[in-house]
Amino acid sequence: MSLAAEAFVSQIAAAEPWPENAALYQQMKEEQILLSDNASCLAVQAFLQMCSLPVHVVCRPNAEYMSPSGKVPFIHVGNQVVSELGPIVQFVKAKGHSLSDGLDEVQKAEMKAYMELVNNMLLTAELYLQWCDDATVEEITHPRYGSPYPWPLNRILAYQKQWEVRRKMKAIGWAGKSLEQVLEDVDQCCQALSQRLGTQPYFFNKLPTELDALVFGHLFTILTTQLTSDELSEKVKNYSNLVAFCRRIEQQYFEGRDKDSSSTSRFSKGPLLR
């Protein structure tokens, strides 16, 4: 298909209304999905809720391999398949739904900078913990990641993913870090987010943006995921306004909604955010 034809198809897709049967694909919630993927999926769910766009969550053990980018989540809307928060935000914007249109150019640049901070610090720390911390790898990551598959495929896939992530950590200079250094990076990220949020309900005052969805996805998942220790969640709990922020979004956009579609309750290890 030519570029002009692809552009025409994209315009047609953008003009179509959001369907009731839109689906978000991710791994199995209870027994398979890992912290980082869980956070990314919840961020997209929160973003779509903030846009008042319905989506049905579909759990598939091979969701990672179904995704066009190899990462979750991805959404299936009409005949379009789009993966990861950034492209999904752009896809939704093309359909006339945006959370950041009210921001000026300086604010938009600031929002993008903080989103980069979250991805570079929190997401990377989650990946480090999952695949580079020996206790977490042995007790949580390998058993969960390979859970849908029989032996020896479960072990082969887990070691393949571990090699891939550790290679990435080496490339970005994280391979030599200790767990204490990674936790310190998380604390510094939380401190920056806490200072930017202040006493506002959202990062840009009264209305949420995709930054709020991204931060909520990661912080809420960190707060409510059972790991080998509480060191990671304790870093977030040190900032009461961030905990209150997570609780606010949980209450406003998730509580009381269809529990099979976009509920955060399935991620929790208990009613922590009270």
Residue pLDDT, tens place only, 217-257 = 999 999 999 999 999 999 999 999 999 999 999 999 998 76
Band of residue 95 on the pLDDT scale cut at 50, 70, 90: very high
Residue 160 predicted with pLDDT over 70: yes
- Which residue from 34, 54, 28, 41 is spatially nearest to 253, judged by alpha carbons? 54
CATH number for the region 3-95 comes to: 3.40.30.10
218 contacts 122 by C-beta, under 8 angstroms: yes
Q: Is 126 exposed, middle or buried (0-12, 13-18, 19+ CB in 10 A)?
A: buried
Burial per residue of 185-223, b for 16 or more beta-carbon CB atoms within 10 angstroms, e otherwise = bbbebbeebbebbeeebbbbeeebbbbbbbbbbbbbbbb
Give the least confident one: 5-14, 36-45, 59-68, 93-102.
5-14
- Which residue from 26, 24, 28 is spatially nearest to 148, judged by alpha carbons? 28
pLDDT of the residue at 7: 53
In the chain, where the domains are located = 3-95, 105-254
What's the rounded mean pLDDT across residues 206-223?
Answer: 97
Pick the CATH number of 105-254 from 1.10.10.10, 1.20.1050.10, 3.40.50.970, 3.30.70.240: 1.20.1050.10
Band of residue 261 on the pLDDT scale cut at 50, 70, 90: very low
Strand 80-83, strand 74-77: pairing: antiparallel
**Average pLDDT, rounded, for the chain:** 91
What's the rounded mean pLDDT across residues 107-125?
Answer: 98
